[in-house]
Structure 1
Amino acid sequence: MTILVTGGAGFIGANFVLDWLACSEETVINLDKLTYAGNLQSLASLRPGAQHIFVQGDIGDAGLVQQLLEHYRPRAVINFAAESHVDRSIEGPEAFVQTNIVGTFRLLQSVTTYWRALPTSQGGAFRFLHVSTDEVYGSLAEGDAAFTEAHPYQPNSPYSASKAASDHLVRAYHHTYGLPVLTTNCSNNYGPWQFPEKLIPLMLANALSGKALPLYGDGLQIRDWLYVGDHCAAIRRVLEAGAVGEVYNIGGCNEMSNLEVISHICRLLDALRPRADGQSYCSQIIHVADRPGHDRRYAINAGKVERELGWRPAETFESGIAKTVGWYLDNQAWVQAVLGAGLGR
């Protein structure tokens, strides 16, 4: 039994590969383009062997994808491959269109061809699981109810618009061609191996380097924070028991402002790695001009995945962020290698 994971050297994808191989004896074929955010060092703990097969390549390379599908005969494809940083999408949206829209389209074409040729018993069990984001739903006001799977799509950045388009393509391939798909829309992930351009690892890296901790605007933008290990467990559960064609929102049940998140990190660092001058890391926080079109609030209602599949996050924000800060303090070599390569922002 084999699964194909795309984007398996990125943050969430690498955590999923590690989680999957810790829980299963099924082989993982890991296809990743190794853009700036892909890092094989995240998978260095895996022993060389047949259970993890890495292939460098693009989901938009139809010939390569078809070759992998026909050779390894996976029972499922889990698609993590995406450009995912909002700031980068504002500065250069074309890469997001190419990977998230065109790449997903070509992947769906290849997978549909493969699935149609499977024997009936294998075709009925096959799944294509597409990993997406809550940002496709747009922004919420302070008193609005959290996003459910029925919430209309209202993307506000080139990144979220490209992910929304990919979600629609996945839905269309199910309704038009019958491809057995599953879609998950997750809230903000954090945890080990996260590339230091995203909020939490960037702030950790800056704090420990004595740099400013820049917060957009007033820092009161609210996000729901999901520990990546909980996200991986949810994806495994959706793949195992999710209803074909359905969408599942996956959240951490932890709505917090960016300012609250960074202040919490600073207090942890104050205790675990005090500054030489005795000052709190909070003194490094500065407010900078807000991001264009910055969504004010995201919130996930994960009631459906709990009711139907029995999944709930195991980590509170307090336990998850403590694990995360501890991991980054213990793995500074990985962080510094990324920063030293000029990749962190």
Structure 2
Amino acid sequence: MKILVTGGAGFIGSAVIRYIINHTNDSVINVDKLTYAGNLESLASIDDSDRYYFEQIDICDRENLKRIIFEKKPDAIMHLAAESHVDRSIDGPADFIETNIIGTYTLLEVCKEYWNQLGEIDKNQFRFHHISTDEVYGDLGFCDGLFTEETAYDPSSPYSASKASSDHLVKAWKRTYGLPTIITNCSNNYGPYHFPEKLIPLIILNAIDGKELPVYGDGGQIRDWLFVEDHASALYQVLTKGNVGETYNIGGHNEKKNIDVVTAICDILDELVPNKLDGMSSYKELIKFVEDRPGHDLRYAIDATKISNELNWQPSETFETGLRKTVIWFLNNESWWKRILNGSYNTTRLGRNS
């Protein structure tokens, strides 16, 4: 099978491509704009594969998008290209509207045109897999249940609203035009190659650099954490075994308070790199509670029963094993993240004074 992946140089996209090249015989066409979060170094391990091809294209660029799709003739599309950081969406929502809504619309239109001219067998086998987030469902109270595939959409941030919009577009192109689409909504990902402004890598890197560890509010917000390599295997399972028109929620069965995530990272670092404590008894001494961000959702939690029962998928990592692997990876891959932290970006909201 030939799979075109949008956003394949991003955190989840690169994990998906590494999974496909390393665990299947399929080939991959990677289409990525290479914004601040896109990093081809995350694909260095598979870059020389004869089953991998990369081209730098913005999904809003209809002409080049059409050219690559009609030229490479993929059997499936995995659409991961998106602006994805909530804090950035608060400070600059325009990019999220452009990429997540207009970009998805453009891709759907090109795919519809491509799909309509396929022969009957290829047309029946083609899949458009849209990868989304649990944040489209909005805020769960601490005593509420779990997000299911039937949970009503109630997005809180410009980011989640733009992803909800893209989900609705995908569903509409299935119902109106018959395009064979599948949607997945995942919980918070973490793992190797994670962009350093997200919570877990930010805490790891700040801690080993002796900087403050900013925690929003009282740190009581709850997230379900999914190891990115488990997510990649789930996405491939959905693409190859999932039913057209269905939505599948993907979660890690790991609900954790943000403050507990931060202290768990500190515990691992206390064990692995005590030499960097610089007079402290624990990295926990660096924790600083900061002003909460606007509209901060209290809790997300995924019910992954459907993908487990219908597609026989379960995460292989617990939060404890996945977090330890993540910390060790960042400790052992300083050259990867130091090139990102060379001043080309900064954490524009988390921990800021304004």
What TM-score bracket applies, with the shorter chain setting the length?
A: over 0.9
Contact kept in structure 2, 1:96 and 1:162, CA below 8 Å: yes
1:287 matched residue in structure 2: 289
Q: CA deviation at 1:25?
A: 2.0
Deviations 1:188-213 (A, max 9, x none): 00001010010000111111111000
CA distance in 1, matches of 2:289, 2:47: 44
Q: CA deviation at 1:61?
A: 1.1
Q: 2:105 is aligned with what amino acid? A: F
Q: 2:175 is aligned with what amino acid? A: H
Determine if the alignment matches structure 1 residue 314 to structure 2 residue 316.
yes
Deviations 1:178-234 (A, max 9, x none): 000000000000001010010000111111111000000000000000000110010
CA distance in 2, matches of 1:191, 1:147: 23
Q: CA deviation at 1:152?
A: 0.3
CA distance in 2, matches of 1:343, 1:45: 25
Deviations 1:39-76 (A, max 9, x none): 01111122424311110011111111111111111000
Listed as ranges, the matches of 1:1-345 within 5 Å are 1-274=1-274, 275-345=277-347
Contact kept in structure 2, 1:215 and 1:287, CA below 8 Å: yes
Moved more, 46-55 or 191-200: 46-55
CA distance in 2, matches of 1:186, 1:93: 22
Count of equivalent residues: 345
Q: 1:227 is aligned with what amino acid? A: F
Q: CA deviation at 1:284?
A: 0.3
Contact kept in structure 1, 2:265 and 2:323, CA below 8 Å: yes
Contact kept in structure 2, 1:196 and 1:344, CA below 8 Å: no
Moved more, 333-342 or 119-128: 333-342
- Aligned residue for 1:184, secondary structure, equals strand
CA distance in 2, matches of 1:209, 1:344: 15
Q: TM-score, normalised by structure 1?
A: 0.99
Q: 2:301 is aligned with what amino acid? A: A
Moved more, 252-261 or 39-48: 39-48
Coordinate RMSD, CA, aligned: 0.8
Q: CA deviation at 1:342?
A: 2.6
Task: Please list every run of 5 or more consecutive structure 2 residues that lacks an aligned counterpart in the other structure.
Answer: 348-354
Contact kept in structure 1, 2:30 and 2:53, CA below 8 Å: yes
Contact kept in structure 1, 2:86 and 2:159, CA below 8 Å: yes
Q: 1:294 is aligned with what amino acid? A: H
CA distance in 1, matches of 2:233, 2:16: 8
Deviations 1:165-184 (A, max 9, x none): 00000000000000000000
CA distance in 1, matches of 2:47, 2:247: 34
Contact kept in structure 2, 1:195 and 1:344, CA below 8 Å: no
Contact kept in structure 2, 1:234 and 1:311, CA below 8 Å: yes
Deviations 1:277-298 (A, max 9, x none): 2520000000000000000000
Q: 1:2 is aligned with what amino acid? A: K
Q: Which runs of 4+ in 1 moved over 4 A?
A: none
Q: CA deviation at 1:136?
A: 0.2
Contact kept in structure 2, 1:80 and 1:131, CA below 8 Å: yes
Moved more, 24-33 or 181-190: 24-33
Contact kept in structure 1, 2:20 and 2:27, CA below 8 Å: no
Q: TM-score, normalised by structure 2?
A: 0.96
Q: 2:71 is aligned with what amino acid? A: H
Moved more, 274-283 or 308-317: 274-283
Contact kept in structure 1, 2:138 and 2:297, CA below 8 Å: yes
CA distance in 2, matches of 1:139, 1:127: 31
CA distance in 1, matches of 2:61, 2:104: 11
2:352 matched residue in structure 1: none
CA distance in 1, matches of 2:66, 2:47: 27
- Aligned residue for 1:53, secondary structure, equals strand
CA distance in 2, matches of 1:39, 1:166: 24
